[in-house]
A and B are shown apart, each in its own frame.
Chain A
Amino acid sequence: MTKAATQRIAFALLRLSAAVIVASVFLLLGYLVWNGTPALSLSFLLESPREGMTAGGVFPAIVGTFYLTLLTLLFALPLGVGAAIYLSEYADPRRSKTLYMIRTATVVLAGIPSIVYGLLGLGLFVLFLRLGFSILSSALALSFLTLPVIISASEEALRTVPPSYREGAFALGATKWQVIRDAVLPFAAPGILTACILGLARAAGETAPILLTGAAYYLPELPNSIFDQFMALPFHIFTLSTQSVNPRLTRPIQFGSVLVLLLLVLSLNLVAIVIRSYYRQKYRWVT
């Protein structure tokens, strides 16, 4: 075979793999939009499920997912960013064994299947700490799940802070903590924020951890406190499609719910992208 022919075949294969990816995304999205859009309406977004979950909307699930995500952020942000700051700023690179252990732990944490986080939540938060089936337990379980994402991406953001900022602040007589607080963190903040949003987007779509720690099949009322059970979109989709009295009948609202969840997660990602490109533009002088 000639070299030119080999090259043509190689390119064709590469194009094919790219095309398969793009096509599957469009196929998936198209299928969902096609089937889900008819169910979407303002009342679908703002009403509770009715008639044994065969009609009505997804409002409580949206609210539940919102509360859950917010509370997860509250736990995961300080813990994850704190760990990232420690890793990138304080940990002594000469004691590489400790660093290696922490990094490995983060990677392992990232690789753990989400159902295991559910079991951890059930055992540790729900039963042992007696937090019960609640938003709190679920949010804690989800925080553990998002921590690796937040830690590694925040650490990455901290590392991209030009050393000249640190030096500049040190040279003005700043203590190490002041350097971190006043020179490093403001610069890394957009990156950290992006990391958190991406982590949350993942958490918002998780089903297994909340299934075991506090998500409810159906609740007549919205949760009043963090100790209440809650409805959430991913779990709602799960119940609609597998536990429903009449899965065939509920098909439109299944697709509707999936579409809502997808839009929610995609818009979180979109926010992250916008923040990132905005600050990239703003700091282009120095980077």
Chain B
Amino acid sequence: MKRSKIETRGLSLWFGQKQVLDNVDLNILENSITAIMGPSGCGKSTLIRVFNRMNDIIPDCNVTGSVFLDGEDVYSPSVDVVALRMRVGMVFQKPNPFPKSIYDNVAFGLRIQKRTSKEETDKVVEESLRGAALWDEVKDRLKDSALELSGGQQQRLCIARALAVKPEVVLMDEPCSALDPSATAKIEALMAELKKNYTVVVVTHNMQQAARVSDYTAFLYLGKVVEYGLTDQIFENPTNKLTENYITGRFG
């Protein structure tokens, strides 16, 4: 049995008066891919944004319940959010490379946290780009603007950028929704690689993707976890009627 990496207990979240998450209990296991699927607006993205406290940026966001990362409460007042976000990296729905060079994009996370020597930075940039399966495509043009890359390359660059700060968890918020099928296939293959070293949580409203890539799947509906378990089981033998209706395409 794998170790638990992230655990939520009675997690609820409000944006102003609107409740987005309702009493979520999840146990996300280390070195696995956990997919969070559900129809638009069910709170999937909000849920993973709890794990690195990205919701903090949004005014009027209130959280109750607890979220543990390696047993430590993420919302405890003593937690350094900046340090937390280095442990829990994130890749967004739309590729969002900075308007800088490919190299500078990957080095961004290193440069903002400490003085890293040129050699060390070079090394990490290469490692991270290799880790994101992008190195061979860009090694000769690291100084070119990241904006010249294709959409799929940009997304892998964003993954490399997240890996460069050596996170333990990689959150992916619909990472393929803006990509074409071949770029999507590359990202999916990459996820399978990533889980060897990282805990991956991926939000998707694409059921096939959840079925293809993940080990565990949570089905979220109206802010509640309807069903959570091994992906195979969820897709082959859902215990809840709602889940069954969703995966058979009766709504969503």
Partner of B99, one of A94, A167, A286: A286
Contacts of B92 on A, CB cut-off 8 Å?
164, 167-168, 171
- B4 to chain A: closest CB distance in Å? 23
Whether the pair A171, B60 counts as a contact (CB closer than 8 A) is no
The number of chain A residues touching the other chain, given as a range, is 20 to 34
| Given A167-B54, A182-B108, A286-B147, A93 contacting B99 (CB threshold 8 A) | no
Contacts of B85 on A, CB cut-off 8 Å?
170-173
- B32 to chain A: closest CB distance in Å? 21
User: A-facing mask of B129-164, CB < 8 A → 1, else 0?
Assistant: 000000000000000010110000000001001100
Contacts of A169 on B, CB cut-off 8 Å?
98, 108, 112
Contacts of B83 on A, CB cut-off 8 Å?
173
- Given contacts A166-B57, A186-B98, list 10 more A-B pairs with CB under 8 A: A168-B96, A168-B98, A169-B108, A170-B54, A170-B85, A171-B54, A172-B112, A173-B83, A173-B85, A175-B112
Task: Decide yes or no whether B205 CB sits under 8 A from chain A.
Answer: no
Instruction: Kindly list the 8 A-B residue pairs having the minimum CB-CB distance in the complex, ordered from nearest.
Output: A164-B96, A173-B86, A171-B90, A172-B109, A285-B147, A173-B85, A168-B96, A178-B112
Residues of A within 8 A of B (CB): 92-94, 162, 164-175, 178, 182-183, 186-187, 282-283, 285-286
Contacts of B89 on A, CB cut-off 8 Å?
171-172
Whether the pair B59, A167 counts as a contact (CB closer than 8 A) is no
Task: Decide yes or no whether B5 CB sits under 8 A from chain A.
Answer: no
Measured CB to CB, the nearest residue on chain A to B151 is A285
Whether the pair A94, B112 counts as a contact (CB closer than 8 A) is no
Task: Decide yes or no whether B82 CB sits under 8 A from chain A.
Answer: yes
Whether the pair B147, A282 counts as a contact (CB closer than 8 A) is yes
